[in-house]
């Protein structure tokens, strides 16, 4: 079957030159992988390898995605609202700018206006711009922190939040209706311009966004003697990140080699701030400048990682630890300033550490855990905004994978908000207590407990890999095992069945259905099994509370290894 599709592409007389070139010199096995299926459009959008074929990202698969989105918008809003338009942003990757223009060309064929940025912009600014322009939707062309061979496509609703499953599934249905990718109508870009179907966004939107980000500061007049090293890892926060910190009075030193918008990410193996290896150049500059804080953001600037100078070396915090620090600083300082809300809510996910939740509750805040994926936190922020009776206030949202939002004018992870708050916290503790952020984290552990978490990825490729993942999940789902690794299961949560099993009782979980399971053991340790939504792997998350950081680290390693052995034994 795939050979017929391949021949159709090969013989298409107007085939894009980039795509045509990629068809040359391929083996049968390579061609089969390029054409045996359609690139999956899931609830998180699309992500894949750049190249020719139905299973690759190219102008034709991008058009297909936009065709589905356009049909959804026309059906949902009617033709009279199409002038509200769609905001489109892109990162620094290969074909990102071209794909953003292709998106506008498809939308324009339906009479839908596009707001385009002239150049790359952070994903959180896209989220902000959707609401600022009163647009119908938003699009970001990005593959986040994936390797250079990848690109992707994410879509946002009119509230600046990634579409949640109910709506995304409807869009997926429209996407899947298109069988002939070459039949999708597009307008020439000159035609878009002449019919006012494109408007460009730039400095005015940047300023509006940065002005909002600056409101995150609790002590804007703080003296700022710290040296901060910053790297955007070749991505979208380079210009705005430096501008933000400098305009707020911080001494920021950018890593020049990584300020370059390099689509090949030549200075790193993988542009992911979760990996301490990406800080190598930042460390070199930090040592030269005696910088107390290193900051890195991923290419689309929604994630943030930090390194802290401690005992003459840099220590890198994980997402749970950075989140806990920000929650503690935010709530403690709001309490002193008299601005702590009476009905504040902190949001995390079912795989996030319990440390941040424990801190939040100690300040009288409610804590709500969503499924993994920041779209669910964004959705809950909207629900809060619309619930006038409860008068609850959004305080903070975060997940373990280095994503944070302080104020919900952005309905997604926002590394610029996070970098401003963490820079202020580092400066505040240095000025007032002569402590580093790591000193403060140790204080928090001492007060609230030594929480530590870990993650193990099990890569299972291809069709057989997907079948294996399904087997594993079904085995844990159907198995009535009462203990794991000698520890009794006290809570089992199955988010696909929407059931919580606790003390012999069954409760309903009021969250969207998702193929995720969480087990809480008698010593308050826990583990979660979750198939990745964008990559061929099964994720095992685990967390414990120890009597010391060393003990907690060892316990997490043992828990992950033990569950991994059980998973490996599933047949």
What are the percentages of helix, strand and coil residues in the chain, rounded to 5? 40, 25, 35
Q: Which two tokens stand for residue 488?
A: 């009794």
What's the CA gap between 410 and 403, in Å, rounded? 12
Long-range contacts of 257-262 (CB under 8 A, 24+ apart): 257/281, 258/231, 258/232, 258/233, 258/234, 258/282, 259/231, 259/232, 259/234, 260/234, 261/92, 261/120, 261/234, 261/235, 262/92, 262/234
Active-site residue identified among 144, 353, 423, 525: 144
Could you confirm whether 40 is annotated as catalytic? Answer: no
- Beta strand ranges found along 450-497 (DSSP E): 450-459, 483-484, 487-494
Q: Which residues of 16-47 are buried (b: 16+ CB within 10 A; e: fewer)?
A: eeebeebbeebeeeebbbbbbebbebebbbbb
- Please give the radius of gyration of the chain, using alpha carbons only, rounded to the nearest integer: 24
What's the CA gap between 92 and 239, in Å, rounded? 13
Whether the Cβ atoms of residue 360 and residue 346 lie closer than 8 Å to each other: yes
Whether the Cβ atoms of residue 435 and residue 354 lie closer than 8 Å to each other: no
- 3-class DSSP assignment, residue 213: helix
Whether the Cβ atoms of residue 545 and residue 522 lie closer than 8 Å to each other: no
* Alpha-carbon torsion (89, 86, 38, 11), positive or negative: negative
Whether the Cβ atoms of residue 401 and residue 274 lie closer than 8 Å to each other: yes
Nearest to 469 by CA among 568, 559, 351: 568
Active-site annotation, residues: 144
């Amino acid at each position: 079957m795939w050979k017929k599709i391949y021949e159709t592409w090969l013989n298409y007389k107007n085939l894009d030159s980039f795509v045509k070139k990629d068809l040359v010199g391929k083996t049968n096995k390579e061609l089969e992988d390029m054409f045996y299926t359609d690139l999956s459009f899931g609830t998180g959008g699309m992500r894949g390898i750049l190249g020719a074929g139905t299973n690759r990202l190219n102008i034709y698969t991008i058009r297909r995605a936009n065709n589905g989105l356009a049909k959804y918008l026309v059906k949902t809003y009617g033709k009279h609202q199409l002038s509200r338009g769609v905001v489109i942003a892109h990162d620094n990757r290969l074909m990102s700018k071209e794909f953003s223009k292709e998106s506008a060309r498809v939308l324009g064929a339906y009479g839908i206006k596009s707001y385009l940025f002239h150049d790359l912009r952070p994903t959180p600014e896209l989220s902000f711009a959707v609401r600022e322009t009163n647009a119908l939707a938003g699009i970001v062309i990005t593959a986040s922190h994936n390797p250079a061979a990848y690109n992707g496509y994410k879509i946002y609703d009119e509230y600046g939040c990634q579409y949640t499953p109910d709506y995304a599934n409807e869009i997926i249905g429209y996407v899947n209706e298109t069988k002939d990718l070459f039949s999708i109508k597009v307008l020439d870009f000159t035609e878009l311009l002449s019919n006012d179907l494109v408007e460009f966004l730039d400095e005015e939107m940047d300023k509006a966004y940065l002005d909002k980000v600056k409101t995150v500061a609790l002590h804007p007049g703080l003296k700022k003697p710290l040296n901060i090293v910053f790297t955007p890892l070749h991505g979208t926060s380079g210009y705005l990140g430096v501008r933000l910190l400098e305009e707020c009075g911080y001494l920021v030193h950018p890593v020049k080699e990584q300020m370059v918008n390099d689509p090949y990410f030549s200075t790193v193996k993988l542009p992911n701030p979760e990996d301490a290896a990406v800080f190598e150049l930042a460390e070199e500059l930090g040592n030269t400048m005696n910088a107390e804080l290193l900051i890195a953001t991923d290419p689309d600037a929604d994630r943030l990682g930090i390194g802290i100078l401690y005992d003459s070396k840099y220590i890198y915090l994980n997402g749970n630890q950075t989140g806990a620090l920000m929650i503690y600083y935010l709530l403690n300082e709001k309490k002193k300033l008299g601005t702590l809300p009476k009905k504040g809510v902190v949001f995390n996910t079912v795989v996030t550490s319990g440390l941040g939740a424990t801190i939040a509750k100690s300040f009288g805040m409610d804590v709500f855990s969503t499924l993994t994926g920041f779209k669910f936190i964004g959705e809950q922020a909207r629900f809060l905004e619309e619930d006038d009776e409860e008068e609850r206030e959004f305080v903070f949202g975060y997940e373990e994978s280095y994503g944070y939002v302080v104020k919900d004018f952005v309905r997604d992870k926002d590394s610029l908000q996070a970098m401003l708050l963490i820079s202020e916290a580092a400066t505040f503790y240095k000025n007032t207590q002569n402590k580093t952020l790591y000193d403060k984290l140790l204080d928090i552990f001492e007060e609230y407990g030594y929480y530590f978490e870990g993650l193990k990825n099990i890569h299972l490729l291809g069709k057989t890999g997907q079948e294996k993942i399904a087997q594993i999940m079904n085995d844990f789902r159907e198995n009535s095992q009462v203990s794991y690794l000698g520890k009794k299961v006290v809570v089992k949560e199955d988010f696909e069945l929407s059931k919580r099993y606790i003390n012999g009782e069954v409760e309903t979980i009021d969250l969207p259905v998702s193929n995720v399971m969480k087990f809480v053991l008698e010593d308050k340790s826990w583990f979660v099994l979750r198939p990745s939504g964008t990559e061929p792997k099964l994720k095992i998350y685990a967390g414990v509370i120890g009597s010391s950081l060393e003990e907690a680290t060892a316990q997490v390693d043992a828990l992950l290894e033990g569950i991994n052995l059980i998973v490996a034994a599933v047949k």
